[in-house]
Chains A and B, each alone.
Chain A
Amino acid sequence: MRPILIICLGNPLMRDEGIGVRLASELTTHLADNPDVEVMDLGTGGLSVIHAIAGRKKTIFVDCAIMGKTPGLMCRFTPGQVSSKKVRMSYSLHEADLLNTLELSHRLGLCPDDVVIFGIEPGQIAPGEGLTSELENNIQQYVQAVLKELT
């Protein structure tokens, strides 16, 4: 198991919701020779995050995040710096909230001490493939920001 995990989340069939998955392929290329880092496209795997991060030294999440910022802006934060605005109905396993999942992981003693989230403000979340230009034009900037986190 590699000590550092970059988990990229999202759905490439929902426009900018797929930014994490898009960055997974970019980051995989950049980090192919790095023995300490694993890049994982976890898509909409939700609660599987718990098992993916267990035993790691550091985990970096890359995900679409509604933060009330300008579309395309990437923000770096830790779970303690934000609170979730999602109202969970708990009807379905399919309802996922990363912050809630991290809290569960933490209580189970499975969460790494070092967790960083890179959230990217979407321009559009709607059925369809491809990113909006606000995000597409910034791909290399996002990649460099995540790579810098490893230094």
Chain B
Amino acid sequence: MPKKKKVNINISVNHVTRVEGHGNIRLRASDGMVEHVEWQVPEAPRFFEAMVRGRSFEDIQTIVSRICGICSVTHSLAAIKGVEDALGVEVSEQTDKLRILCHYGEQIESHSLHVGYLVAPDLLGQKSVIPLVASHPDMVKTIIRLHRLGNTWMEIIGGRMTHPVSLKVGGFTMLPSEEKLRELKGMIEKAVPDLKTLAEVVLSLADKLPDFNRETEYIALSGPDYYTFYHGDIASTDTDEKVPVQEFERVTNEYVVAQSTAKWCKWHRESYAVGALARFNLNAGQLLPMAAETAKKFVLKKGTCNPYLNNVAQVVECAQVVEHSLQIIDELLTKGLKNEPVKIKPKAGEGVGCVEAPRGILFHRYAFDKKGFCTKANICIPTGQNHANIQKDFEALAPQIIDRGQDEIRLLLEMLVRSYDPCISCSTHFLNVEFV
């Protein structure tokens, strides 16, 4: 290990307002030694659980779809699955497949945006994607096309490009036509070259991703049949035990810390990570050929514990969801779409819905009275589950980079946070302007 320069560092990246919510980075070093490094989340509590109490089981997904504009399909599906679990509702194979398909549209949108708009500027030495329009126009246009595909995809299946309206407890309010499904299939097939371009661009810049490894527990859904974002039990890289989603609190073990208004989580270690890399580390053996080939090009292997490579895992997952979507559409078209009216009788009960958001595993728990009104809700989001792990990464990374100079240290810490693709400040998008 090279001898550390005796430097003094004081980094303080502050949030702006509590309403919007942000994360703060603090680092203090003296004589080349890190004295203090902290990931703070001062986001105000948002009380979404309180807002659904007293509401009908039929309204829950509409309300929670507004929690986040990027993960609105994911929140809707988690809520719907939680309600169905509580009320004992079984859904058809067609509904199951259409939901997975809708969810994949969100994965493509979110992953391509994250890699293209937030990660690429870091790797190309820019502050944002805007200068890349002039310097790397083809790459930006590729990202824009993939983003548009995700939007159109969710509009076709979910009824609109964000905050879906066609997903409901038991099935769908409105099915896409078979013609629209064929149209979607054509768009997805045409996007394959764009995905390959995205992978090549990231591959060409992969040596700029920091070489930082820390033994980490990864947690994700896992099932026997396919690389899942929707079905399965909770799995960990630290154990062979599979935990039913209904017992998720046994995994999340939420606790409160002074440096964050968001709760932190831990299972077998002081922290764990969720997201694309967690899913890859648990389920890589189930990747379809194009995704497996993409992983091979990056030499991304099971057991990877470099958090910066979450971005590479996202690229691999883009290939995975495209390939699986084409299979699903073929299966749906072969059988033909049928209207499936569902009548649901409310009853008292409690249930859990679990879905993999682009940024990691998401849990919703609901209880209902005998008339189907919500009496209890608990939502445990992936970013909350990653906060403790970001802190532990900071503690391990900071001493390794303390001789790099203040600007580079700050950038590497910010890049680390970005690599987790966090969901913060997602509930408010108001303008804040002054007239010029």
Chain A positions near chain B (C-beta within 8 angstroms): 9-14, 17, 41-48, 50-52, 63-68, 77, 81-100, 103-104, 107-108, 110, 117, 119, 122, 125-129
Contact present for B144 and A108 (CB under 8 Å): yes
Report chain B residues within 8 Å CB of A87. 16
State in angstroms the CA–CA spacing of A47 and B161 once bound together: 11
Binary CB contact string for chain B from 56 to 77 against chain A (1 if under 8 A, 0 otherwise) = 0000000100111110100000
State in angstroms the CA–CA spacing of A16 and B230 once bound together: 34
Contact present for A85 and B421 (CB under 8 Å): no
Contact present for B435 and A82 (CB under 8 Å): yes
Judge if B51 is at the interface, Cβ distance under 8 Å.
yes
State in angstroms the CA–CA spacing of A108 and B66 once bound together: 29
Contact present for A77 and B69 (CB under 8 Å): no
Contact present for A94 and B425 (CB under 8 Å): yes
Nearest CB in chain A to that of B163: its residue: A43
State in angstroms the CA–CA spacing of A88 and B425 once bound together: 11
Report chain A residues within 8 Å CB of B140. 108
Contact present for B421 and A93 (CB under 8 Å): yes
Selected from A66, A86, A94, the residue in CB contact (under 8 A) with B426 is: A94
State in angstroms the CA–CA spacing of A48 and B149 once bound together: 11
A145 to chain B, nearest CB (A): 17
Report chain B residues within 8 Å CB of A84. 431-433
Judge if B46 is at the interface, Cβ distance under 8 Å.
yes
Nearest CB in chain A to that of B72: its residue: A43
Given the contacts A47-B117, A96-B69, A65 and B433 also touching, CB distance less than 8 Å? yes
Chain B positions near chain A (C-beta within 8 angstroms): 13, 15-16, 19-20, 22-23, 44-48, 50-51, 63, 66-70, 72, 110, 113-114, 117-118, 121, 127-130, 133-134, 140-141, 144, 147-148, 151-152, 160-163, 414, 417-418, 421-436
Selected from A13, A48, A64, A108, the residue in CB contact (under 8 A) with B162 is: A48
Report chain A residues within 8 Å CB of B46. 13, 127
Contact present for B147 and A119 (CB under 8 Å): no
Selected from B15, B422, B433, the residue in CB contact (under 8 A) with A83 is: B433
Report chain A residues within 8 Å CB of B433. 65-67, 77, 82-85, 99, 119
Name the residue in A42, A89, A93, A95 with the highest tally of chain B Cβ atoms < 10 Å from its Cβ.
Answer: A93
- Please list the 6 inter-chain residue pairs (A to B) with the smallest Cβ-Cβ separation, ordered nearest first: A44-B69, A94-B426, A45-B162, A65-B431, A82-B433, A64-B430
